[in-house]
Amino acid sequence: LAKTAKIFAFENERGVQEPVGFWDPLALSSSGDVSTFKRRRTVELKHGRLCMLATMGYITPEVTGKFPGYLSYSANLKFTDVPNGLAAISKVPALGWAQVVAYAGFCELSAGSDDWKTGTPGDYGFKVLTSSDSAEKEKKLCAELANGRLAMMATIGMFFQDGLTGSAWGDWALYTDSPLRSLKSDPGFNTLPEWD
């Protein structure tokens, strides 16, 4: 009975949504420890928010274009010279990456990562994006969790596709080394349709 109570201790928490319900395949919450659950929820929110920004960072330059001007005057590097996606890693100067890391560290340390000890994880009382109506606020905070989870999957999917095809939107026809493709000379083992 105690083990069952621990397993279902978090089934009514925010983020338990249809169609999956409470999903904990690695049994990370099986101990029933509330503070550990809140800490993990804080981390989930933080990663979800970061991945929502990363997803937009992949999409926005493709749709709206890039900033005018120079990313680095000393390297004569314009924003338009930097490709989208993973290819940008090698183009941005080391000092630029140092600034990104410093800013991320500032955000990490100044935001306070102990909110899970004193209140509701991720709820900073910012009513512009949530609401003062408790039902509406709950709906929006659940949507944030769901969108963050989706963005985490989208970001890793875009990284994977970009790494294989050279583009987050990837033309899979360019990726001929796929283990899912067979040689045309042996059509009996072709797992993907050929539309030639």
120 vs 113 pLDDT, higher one: 120
CA dihedral of residues 19, 159, 148, 104 (deg, nearest 10): 160
pLDDT in tens, 127-158: 666 677 888 888 888 888 889 999 999 999 88
The alpha carbon of 18 is separated from its chain's Cα centroid by a whole number of angstroms, namely 20
When pLDDT is cut at 50, 70 and 90, the band that residue 186 belongs to is low
- Look up the pTM and report it: 0.74
What's the whole-number average pLDDT of the chain? 78
pLDDT at 195 over 60: no
CA dihedral of residues 108, 112, 60, 150 (deg, nearest 10): 110
pLDDT in tens, 63-110: 888 999 998 898 899 999 988 888 888 899 999 999 999 998 887 777
**Residues in the chain, overall count:** 196
When pLDDT is cut at 50, 70 and 90, the band that residue 31 belongs to is confident
- Greatest mean pLDDT among 80-84, 124-128, 173-177 lies in 80-84
